[in-house]
Amino acid sequence: MNNGMKRFFAVAAVALMVPAVAAASTARISGLNVPGDYVKGDYTGMFTYMSEVNSVGNLAYVEAGSIYDDLGDHGVGAVLPGLFDGKYGVWSFHLRQVHPALGQSWNYSPINSGYDGFDPNYAGEAFDIIWGHKMGNGNLALRLNRSFQSYDDGTDVEEGDGNHGRNILGFGGGYGWDMNANTQVEIGALYQQRSFDEGTNGYVDNGGTNLLVAARAFRKASGNLTLVPAVKFYSQDFSYTDTETNTNYDQKFNGWQAGLAGNWTVGSDDLLVFGAQFASNKSDYGDGNEDTEMMMPNVFMALETHLNPWLSFRAGAQNAMFYSYTEKFTGGEDKWKEHYFTFNLGTTVKLGNLTFDAVLDPAFLQNPFAQLMGGSNAFYYNDYYGYRGNGYNAGNTAFPQVSATYTW
């Protein structure tokens, strides 16, 4: 296996732990450092569980970028239940710098979507619309997203930005309902057609399905405990054809995950999350070469506490215990076993109707004044990247990721 694919699966392991998924804001979940499927939140869950759009309320958000994506992935969006006086359901519009990961709100995915542990689309997000409608005790939602770029010089036409920057046309649907007085269920599915064409004597996609199916539930177990089980399956096809030699190359990814977490309300409306998920990711090249990673399990824990009405603090960690990676090839098999650990801090500042969620540099508490003044004494810790001391752009970045939300 080449170094690129080794990095693909190693980063995929970290991606399963990268805090970049659904709930109140991407930066909030990044600070909690838990898979967002297991935290009930406001808006970002609707990219996977689309029926959530009906319960968000009036909201506008700003994604200010992140060092995890070289300060990219900016975005602005709004959820408008009062549009057209509410007669035609809830409408939400999202303008993004890059296409969100398959089913997620941020480009990094907790399910190893695509290449290098995330699901890229360098063509950019042309538009993303989610519509919802309440139906008795249920919520229905539909999603349409499109990313596109093309070049035509009069003799040759190129579509997309190569195999890992394909044009995307996606259709999704979700439904949520109250199963009983103590249990709420949400399901979602997203299908995407992804295409690219490098023109004469280049590469072109040869079809394939890109699909995500997800389901979760919120079960009120006691006065202060909610249990959250979740399951996911995804499949992506990056196969392509060399038009010059008429040779087909297979490159398919698929995976699943299943887990359970508890959300405890502790203290004065503070939050404690503890859970575990089991996950598998696989790549198949159609020639007998297969790469598989297993996390059995990935354990996570987080605490969020309200210091006062306008300031909150949070911290969380994940540990992919008993992690294994298997590389099969003609005539043999190699296997590695280890574990991956990640840790994050975060904070929230509320100013009237405007809320700022930010991830804190992991060294912030050791020397916050130096951090705020742009010092470079960060101690960034990550088992995969192996940084100790200055590094990974964290040395003079007090807030590596920031999101802002406005409600009314």
User: What is the chain's Cα-based Rg?
Assistant: 21
Tell whether pTM > 0.75.
Answer: yes
Rounded CA separation 48/78 (Å): 17
> In which residue ranges of the chain is pLDDT below 70?
1-24, 41-42, 68-71, 106-122, 370-371, 374-396
Number of residues written out for the chain: 408
pLDDT per residue as tens digits for the range 263-317: 999 988 899 999 999 999 888 888 888 888 888 999 999 999 999 999 999 999 9
Q: What is the pLDDT of residue 5?
A: 45
Give me 396's structure tokens: 């003079």
Rounded CA separation 160/169 (Å): 12
pLDDT per residue as tens digits for the range 79-117: 999 999 889 999 999 998 877 778 877 654 443 433 444
Q: What is the pLDDT of residue 16?
A: 37
CA distances from 173 to 235, 258, 265 (A): 17, 21, 31
Among 317, 325, 291, CA closest to 381:
317
Give the architecture (CATH level 2) of 3-407. Answer: Beta Barrel (2.40)
Contact 230, 37 (CB under 8 A): yes
Domain boundaries, the chain: 3-407
Contact 141, 131 (CB under 8 A): yes
Q: What is the pLDDT of residue 12?
A: 40
